[in-house]
Amino acid sequence: VSDGYAALAFLRERVPDLILCDAMMPGMNGFELVSLVRATPGTASIPFIFLTALSDRTDFRHGMDLGADDYLSKPWTIDGLLSAIRTRLRRQQEMEARHAEQLRQIGEEVRRSIPQEMLEPLRGIIGYSDVLAQRCQTLGRDYVSELANDIRKTSRGLLRRVQNFEFLLTLATHVD
């Protein structure tokens, strides 16, 4: 694309594998663009390489401090550019593989722990309600009230566990 504003419009439509950007562009410069890209959750992890005529050390440091993954200044070579692209794409793939493994491990942990976490209070609720159903005619009012309170307390504990489970699933599906 021709400038930073066009890049932002493009990024709203598609997510590229990598961004090559000049630091000097009309309208919005590359430094502003990299800041916005890094501040946006959907684009923050896209590899970002500056390809520019700005060769001053302070420009390089500024670009890197804003979140660029690499900074190539003139005179650059095609081999150098291709090497930078390959390196950044490989690093991105490695990071995605690590995140996939972390998600897999979280999923395994959830699958191992959740059934027991849910079954324990559910058994208590069933047990209390069975006593109420089978012996409701012979139980005293105080004992029925006590069982009802135990059912309420156990149900709320189960609800908390289900909500925690939902929270873990939300975290697992939004790991970046």
pLDDT in tens, 101-133: 888 887 777 777 766 777 778 788 888 888 877
Q: Which amino acid is at 167?
A: F
Query: Residue 23, SS3?
Result: coil
Over 60: is that where the pLDDT of 50 sits?
yes
Identity of the residue numbered 10 = F
Q: Which residue has the higher pLDDT, 117 or 162?
A: 162
Average pLDDT over residues 66-92: 93
Average pLDDT rounded to a whole number, residues 151-174: 78
Percent of the chain with pLDDT over 70: 95
pLDDT score, position 43: 93
What is the average pLDDT score of the chain? Answer: 86
Q: Say if residue 4's pLDDT is above 80.
A: yes
The beta-strand segments (E) located in the chain are: 19-21, 48-52, 70-73
